Structure 1
Amino acid sequence: MPQLSKILVVEDNPLLLLDLCDQLEELGYTTVSATSAATGMRLIDTSVSALITDIELGNGPDGLALARLAARYRPGLPIVVVSGGVTPTAADLPPGAVFLPKPYSLDAVVAALEGQLLAVAA
């Protein structure tokens, strides 16, 4: 079964980005961070095993655009989309992606990612 190992975290708030990456690393995951969707798009490669992205990322593409691109480029990639200001519809999300409103718990993020891995493996 596939494993979560390298997680791309895209968040434009530096404190939230560092906090989430630190917490994930304490659980044994490797993280790669980006503060914009454009940078996140450049970092999606075959070594990334999951994506966590905020929706509102300042100027440029938003996190939903990044999530849709990642899903097209990497079908089956576990994706968690978060936001404190925007609630997307199911049609806004790529198939299989999970939305979590801020504030979210680390347990909810990890459960959403691992749940997607199980669904793909089934």
Structure 2
Amino acid sequence: MDQIRRVMVVEDEVMLLLDLMDNLADHGIDSLPLGMADGAARTLCKSDVDALITDIDLPGQNSGLDLAWRCAQLKPNLPIVVVSGGVRPTQAQLPPNAVFVPKPYGINQILSALDRRVRRAA
């Protein structure tokens, strides 16, 4: 996981966001937290992030899937992990550089998903 130093995390459930950020920090990964997808793609372009983790069901006009597709267009090699406790997208509904992890998840599932995306992009 040497190539992942900073991850944008888009999650509207504050406790899940804080827990994920703490777990990522325990593995040496810094987080850029956001609570909604709206504007996140612009923030991504202005920020030095190595990956995106986004929930699907978010407040605002855009979903996490919308964000994943937009970020994949802007940064085609960006590893993306899409999470949800409800919607379960098929791989065809995800950008090519994305993987789905169902909630509830453990940090090892997230790290494994990021690692798979990094190796695939290399």
TM-score (norm 2): 0.93
* Distance of 1:39 and 1:71 partners within structure 2: 15
CA RMSD in angstroms, aligned pairs only: 1.5
Which residue identity is paired with 2:92?
A: A
Q: Which residue of 1 aligns with 2:67?
A: 66
* Distance of 1:19 and 1:4 partners within structure 2: 18
Deviations 1:26-56 (A, max 9, x none): 1111110000001422321261100000000
* Distance of 1:112 and 1:65 partners within structure 2: 19
- Alpha-carbon contact 2:7-2:30 (below 8 Å) kept: yes
Deviations 1:78-112 (A, max 9, x none): 00000001011222100131001100110010111
- Alpha-carbon contact 2:38-2:60 (below 8 Å) kept: no
Q: Determine if the alignment matches structure 1 residue 6 to structure 2 residue 6.
A: yes
Which residue identity is paired with 1:103?
A: P
Q: How does 1:1-122 map to 2 (within 5 A)?
A: 3-45=3-45, 47-121=48-122
* Percent identity of paired positions between Structure 1 and Structure 2: 46
Return 12-21 or 35-44, whichever deviates more: 35-44
Show structure 2 runs of 5+ residues with no match. Answer: none
